[in-house]
C-alpha cells in the first residue's frame, strides 16, 4: 500500500477574485503563505518519501514550504500544471461570457470538445494528467506528496479511483486543502477529501 497526500496550493490574488488561473505564473498571496504554513505544521510529523509538484510558482512554493522539514527533494512535474486557459486567462466567468460566449457555454458542462482559444483542449489536459497518474501506480510502500492545482487533482482522483472523467467536477478541492488516497494493487481508497481543518486553527 502507498499513501498519496494530495495538496492544492495556497491562495493567490487570482483565486480570491475568482479569475481563471491556469498557466499564468503568479506567486502565493500573503494569505496563501499563511495557509501553507499551517498545512506544513499539520504534516510535520508525516514520513514523506517522495514529492511531486507542478512547476508553476504557486504550487512549487507550496511544496517547498511543506517539504522544508523533511529533507526531501521535489520532483518538478510540468504535467501537473493547471489547464492552459489561453486568451481567457485572468478573466472572470462573466467577462468570458461577454467576450467568448461559445467558450463560456462549453465551460458550463466542460464538454470534451472544449478548447480554450490560444490554450489547451480538455482532452489534452486530461491526457497529461493521465500520464502522470501512471507514475503513481508503480509506487509501493511509500508516502508521496503531490502538490498541484484544483483541476489536475480532481482529474487525478478520477484516474486513481477508476471513475469516468466526466465526474471530475464532482470533487471540491479548496485552496491549501489536503486529501489522502491509499493505493492498493487493485483499488484506491479515499481516506480524506478536501480537508481544511488546519486553516481553522489559530496562530
From the candidates 79, 82, 124, 167, give the one annotated as an active-site residue.
82
Q: For residues 172 and 163, what is the distance between their CA atoms, to the nearest angstrom?
A: 15
For CA atoms 127, 120, 21, 77, the dihedral sign is positive
Active site residue 201: no
Active site residue 124: no
Contact 67, 74 (CB under 8 A): yes
Q: For residues 46 and 96, what is the distance between their CA atoms, to the nearest angstrom?
A: 42
Angle at 62 between CA 190 and CA 30, to 5 degrees: 120
Active-site annotation, residues:
9, 82
Amino acid at each position: 500500500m502507498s499513501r498519496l497526500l494530495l495538496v492544492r496550493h495556497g491562495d493567490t490574488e487570482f483565486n480570491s477574485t475568482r479569475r481563471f488561473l491556469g498557466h499564468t505564473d503568479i506567486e502565493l498571496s500573503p494569505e496563501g503563505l499563511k495557509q501553507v504554513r499551517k498545512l506544513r505544521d499539520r504534516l510535520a510529523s508525516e514520513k514523506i518519501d517522495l514529492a511531486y509538484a507542478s512547476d508553476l510558482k504557486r504550487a512549487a512554493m507550496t511544496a517547498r514550504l511543506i517539504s522544508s522539514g523533511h529533507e526531501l527533494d521535489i520532483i518538478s512535474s510540468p504535467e501537473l500544471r493547471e489547464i492552459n486557459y489561453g486568451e481567457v486567462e485572468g478573466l472572470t466567468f462573466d467577462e468570458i461570457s461577454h467576450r467568448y460566449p461559445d467558450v463560456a457555454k462549453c465551460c458550463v458542462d466542460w464538454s470534451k470538445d472544449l478548447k480554450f482559444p490560444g490554450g489547451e483542449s480538455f482532452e489534452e489536459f486530461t491526457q497529461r494528467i493521465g500520464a502522470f497518474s501512471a507514475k503513481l501506480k508503480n509506487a509501493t510502500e511509500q508516502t508521496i506528496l503531490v502538490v498541484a492545482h484544483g483541476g489536475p487533482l480532481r482529474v487525478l482522483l478520477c484516474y486513481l479511483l477508476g471513475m469516468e472523467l466526466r465526474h471530475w467536477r464532482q470533487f471540491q478541492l479548496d485552496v491549501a486543502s489536503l486529501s489522502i488516497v491509499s493505493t492498493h494493487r487493485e483499488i484506491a481508497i479515499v481516506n480524506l477529501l478536501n480537508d481544511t481543518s488546519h486553516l481553522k486553527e489559530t496562530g
